[in-house]
Amino acid sequence: MKTYLDCYPCFLRQALGAARLAGADEGQQKAVLDRVLDVLRQVELSRTPPEIADRVHRIVRREVGDGDPYRVAKDASTRQALGLYPRLESLLAEADDPLETAVRLSIAGNIIDLGPTQEYDLWGTVERVLAQPFAIDDGAAFREALSRAGRGAATTPLLYLADNAGETVFDRLLIETLDVPVVYAVKGGPILNDATREDALA
């Protein structure tokens, strides 16, 4: 995946939004944007958007001095998801197909990725995702892959890539449903509302 010029305004919006969330004054916000513009002028378009976003968010943290500008919003997403956890466990316990239900709940949790500043009806999303058919249903292939991973003495762990804070609560339900070891990978540092170790352990 390469970076397109159309990505540049988004990098600037992300930087400005993160600086504001961190409480930066106008001078700090301008300094952040100036540094990001310097990076964008020099970066190769062959670099991926995540690579550039990492540099952008490092600039914000360095200029503003906030370890995680999205921490408050991420914590709110996680609290909201944890508030639903007992209901989600009940849905899973009553499900005819616990694996499919757990997958669907994980998908519903992914909607949190719409952004930490946007309003969303999480329970409404859960209900919609549980009711809608999959546009592409690879459930049989997924079950077969899980079966292959669980065979033999040397069980192969499943690599599960975390996406965002709050979703980690929904992922927990799926991980607990799987009958194979799981390696749950999170971001090494804060970028937007992406899950870090702290979020996964909440």
Q: How confident is residue 192, by pLDDT bands cut at 50, 70 and 90?
A: confident
Pairing state between β 158-161 and 182-185: parallel
- Is residue 23 helix, strand or coil? coil
Q: How confident is residue 202, by pLDDT bands cut at 50, 70 and 90?
A: confident
Cα distances from 97 to residues 10, 143, 171, 176, in angstroms, run 40, 12, 17, 14
What tokens were used for 140? Answer: 């049989």
Classify residue 153 by its DSSP letter: S
pLDDT in tens, 88-126: 999 999 999 999 999 999 999 887 664 444 556 788 889
Instruction: Identify the helix (H) or strand (E) that includes residue 90.
Output: helix 71-94
Q: State the pLDDT at residue 156.
A: 76
Instruction: Identify the helix (H) or strand (E) that includes residue 183.
Output: strand 182-185
pTM: 0.79
Q: State the pLDDT at residue 132.
A: 94
Choose among 174, 194, 178: nearest CA to 186. Answer: 194
- Tell me the average pLDDT across 160-188: 93
Q: How confident is residue 193, by pLDDT bands cut at 50, 70 and 90?
A: confident
Residue 15 CB-density burial (10 A; 0-12 exposed, 13-18 middle, 19+ buried)? buried
Instruction: Identify the helix (H) or strand (E) that includes residue 160.
Output: strand 158-161
With beta carbons less than 8 A apart as the criterion, state whether 21 and 13 touch: no
Q: Say how far apart CA 75 and CA 199 lie, in whole Å.
A: 8
The answer, yes or no, to whether residue 72 has pLDDT greater than 90, is no
The answer, yes or no, to whether residue 188 has pLDDT greater than 50, is yes
Residue 183 CB-density burial (10 A; 0-12 exposed, 13-18 middle, 19+ buried)? exposed
The answer, yes or no, to whether residue 141 has pLDDT greater than 90, is yes
pLDDT in tens, 4-63: 999 999 999 999 998 998 888 999 999 999 999 999 999 999 999 999 998 998 999 888
